Amino acid sequence: MNITLRDITFSYDKDPVLNGINAAIEHGDLVALVGPNGSGKSTLIKCINGILAVSEGEVLLDGTNIRTIPTAERARKIAYVPQTEHKAVPMKVFDAVLLGRKPYIFLKPSNSDLEITSGILKQFDLEDVAMRDVHTLSGGQQQRVFIARALNQQPDILLLDEPTANLDLKYQMEILGLLRSLTQQNITIVIAMHDINMASHFANRVVMLKQGSVFASGGREIVTAENVEQLFQVKVRIIYENGTRFIVPVE
Ligand SMILES: Nc1ncnc2c1ncn2[C@@H]1O[C@H](COP(=O)(O)OP(=O)(O)OP(=O)(O)O)[C@@H](O)[C@H]1O
Ligand SMILES: [Mg+2]
């Protein structure tokens, strides 16, 4: 699905937190949303999701205003992994991931719902902990459960707010690699993330947010030392390792 953000403005109270955001996200894009703390990444993700109603402008999914899409249909189309997941009631990992099938389940899960859930658990390396309570897992394992639940929803659009913050390096690479491979299967992904190198490695489009406005957007070539310095107010330099470009801060 395409996501069009047209002149979006949003305020929690008086002052706007998002200021005239425009973006055209294409079907199959993996977009990294980067920017300083408080720049509006989480707020923008909640606007795309429809959790927050924009004050001005519109969010269009394949040209249709999100507000006119019935809630049940929206639940099947969009999956969202929030930045901080409040601990849910004690629940087995299997059941927590099965919850992703909720928009499809009528009365009780079908065999296909159970099969799809088992497949996702395997894909996320969660088979061994499937019968454990979610709240007994480590932070990173829990994060994998939440991402698995979102994908179990088989959404057209997947929104993730700092999904790799709790993950060790191996799972950061695995999950981001998995997400990138999913874009081949008709899914559009938007990820708010802080690691600028991971963003430019895995995303095909980068949107830089600064104080609620788009500071720069485009392909990964916009992740230049100049842009990163201006965006985060730090000095950086570029290093090359085996042909890959890395941005590192300079003290
Ligand atoms: N529920 C709220 N009520 C009032 N103001 C809020 C609320 N949530 C966020 N804000 C404010 O909106 C601005 C943008 O916050 P947001 O959480 O979108 O930033 P962010 O880019 O996701 O930051 P971070 O990198 O820290 O997650 C901040 O100034 C924040 O204080
Ligand atoms: Mg945030």
Ligand 1 test: best mutation among 8, 10, 17, most atoms within 8 Å of CB? 17
Is pLDDT at 231 greater than 90 in this prediction? yes
- Specify the pLDDT at position 23: 97
Q: What mean pLDDT comes out for the span 203-225?
A: 96
- Specify the pLDDT at position 248: 92
Look at ligand 1, atom 9, and give the residue with the nearest C-alpha: 43
- Specify the pLDDT at position 92: 96
Question: In ligand 1, which atom is closest to the CA atom of 83?
Answer: 27
All domains of the chain, ordered by start, with CATH?
3-249 (3.40.50.300)
- Specify the pLDDT at position 85: 65
Look at ligand 1, atom 28, and give the residue with the nearest C-alpha: 38
Question: In ligand 1, which atom is closest to the CA atom of 40?
Answer: 18
Q: Is 133 left (phi over 0), alpha (psi -120 to 50) or beta?
A: beta
Amino acid (one-letter) located at 38? G
The per-residue pLDDT of the chain, averaged, comes to 93
Query: Are 209 and 33 a contacting pair, CB within 8 Å?
Result: yes
CA-to-CA distance for 155 and 107, rounded, in angstroms?
A: 21
Backbone phi, then psi, for 246, in 5-degree steps? -125, 145
Per-residue pLDDT of 186-202, as tens digits, reads: 899 999 999 999 999 99
Q: What mean pLDDT comes out for the span 226-234?
A: 95
CA-to-CA distance for 221 and 235, rounded, in angstroms?
A: 18
Per-residue pLDDT of 34-43, as tens digits, reads: 999 999 999 9
Per-residue pLDDT of 83-127, as tens digits, reads: 876 666 689 999 999 999 999 888 899 999 999 999 999 999 999
Closest CA to 126 of 109, 138, 111: 138
Radius of gyration, alpha carbons of the chain = 18
- Specify the pLDDT at position 87: 62
Look at ligand 1, atom 6, and give the residue with the nearest C-alpha: 12
For ligand 2, the distance from its centroid to the CA atom of residue 139, given in whole angstroms, is 17
Question: In ligand 1, which atom is closest to the CA atom of 162?
Answer: 27
- Specify the pLDDT at position 88: 60
Per-residue pLDDT of 135-184, as tens digits, reads: 898 888 888 999 999 999 999 999 999 998 888 998 899 889 989 988 98
- Name all contacts of 240-243 with Cβ < 8 Å and 24+ positions apart: none
Question: In ligand 1, which atom is closest to the CA atom of 44?
Answer: 18
Total-model pTM: 0.94
Amino acid (one-letter) located at 67? R
- Site residues for ligand 1, CB cut-off 6 Å: 12, 17, 35, 37-43, 83
